[in-house]
Structure 1
Amino acid sequence: MPTPRETILTALHARLSTLPATALRGDVLPERVPPDGLLILRDGEPGEPEVTLSPPAYHYQHRAEVEAVVQGADRDAAFDALCASIGTAIAADRTLGGICDWVEAEAPRPVDLPVEGAASLKVAIIPVILHYTTADPLG
C-alpha cells in the first residue's frame, strides 16, 4: 500500500497528465521537447513537519517541483499558456480528490537556455506546495 506522500505525488502527476504537454515524473530531460511542451514532476522535499501529539500527527508542507519546458519560435506565448494551464489544473481540485489538505503553486522563474543548432528552450521550475498530514513520517 503506498504512503500518503506517494499517493499525493501520484495524484499530482495524474492531474498534470491531463494537460496537452507531456508529463513525466522524475525523468531526465529528453533530447527532444514535444511541440506542446514538457512537464517533469520532481518529488521534492517534504521538509520538517509540525508535530501534534495524542494521537501523533505530522503536518507537512511538502515542496514538489514541476519543471516546465517549451521550445520553438513562439516559446514565450507557449510558456505562458503552459504555466496558466498548470495553475488551472491545480485550482480545479486543490485537495487532489480529498487526499491532500491543500495544493498551491508558486510563481515560476523562467530562463532561456540556448541550444546549439536548435531553437532555445524556455524553462522554469514551478514549486508546488502540498499540505498534508500523516500519522507516521515514514508511512
Structure 2
Amino acid sequence: MPTTRETVLTALHARLSKLSSTALRGDVLPERVPPDGLLILRDGEPGEPEVTLSPLRYHYQLRAEIEAFVQGADRDAAFDALCASIGTVIAADRTLGGLCDWIEAEAPRPVDLPVEGAASLKAAVIPVILHYTIADPLA
C-alpha cells in the first residue's frame, strides 16, 4: 500500500499528465523537448512536520518541484501558456480529490538555457507546496 506522500505525488502527476505537454516524474531531461513542452515532477522534501497531540498527527508541507521546459521560435508565449495551464490544473482541485489538505504553486523563475546547435530552452522550476496530515511519518 503506497504512503500518503506517494499517493499525493502520484495524483499530482496524473493531473499534470492531462495537459498537452509531456509530463514525467523523476526522469532526466531527454535530448529533445516535445513541441508542446515538457514537465518533470520532482518529489521534493517533506520538511519538518508540525505535530499535534491527542490524537497524534503530523502536518507536512511537502515542497515538490515541477521543472517546465519549452523550446522553439515562440518559446516565451509557449512558456507562459504552459505555466498558466499548470495553474489551471492546480486551481481546479486544490485537494487532489481529498488526498491532501491544500496544494499551491509558487511563481516560476524562468531562465533561458542555451543548446548547442538548436534553439535555446526556456525553463523554470515551479515549487508546489502540498499540505497533508498523517498519523505516522512513515505512512
TM-score, with normalisation over the residues of structure 2?
Answer: 0.99
Q: Deviations over 1:50-99 (max 9, x none)?
A: 00111210001110000000000100000000000000000000000001
> What does 1:14-25 correspond to in 2, within 5 Å?
14-25=14-25
Gaps of 5+ in 1: none
SS in 2 for 1:108: coil
Gaps of 5+ in 2: none
1:101 corresponds to 2:101:
yes
SS in 2 for 1:97: coil
SS in 2 for 1:15: helix
Q: Deviations over 1:6-33 (max 9, x none)?
A: 0000000000000000000000000000
Indicate the residue corresponding to 1:55 in structure 2: 55
Q: Deviations over 1:95-139 (max 9, x none)?
A: 000011000000000000000000000000000000000111111
Indicate the residue corresponding to 1:127 in structure 2: 127
Distance 1:96 1:84 in 2: 18
Indicate the residue corresponding to 2:138 in structure 1: 138
SS in 2 for 1:133: strand
SS in 2 for 1:19: coil
Indicate the residue corresponding to 1:40 in structure 2: 40
What's the % identity of the aligned pairs? 88
Report the count of equivalent residues: 139
- Counterpart residue type for residue 3 of structure 1: T
Moved over 2 A (4+): none
Indicate the residue corresponding to 1:5 in structure 2: 5
Indicate the residue corresponding to 1:79 in structure 2: 79
SS in 1 for 2:113: strand
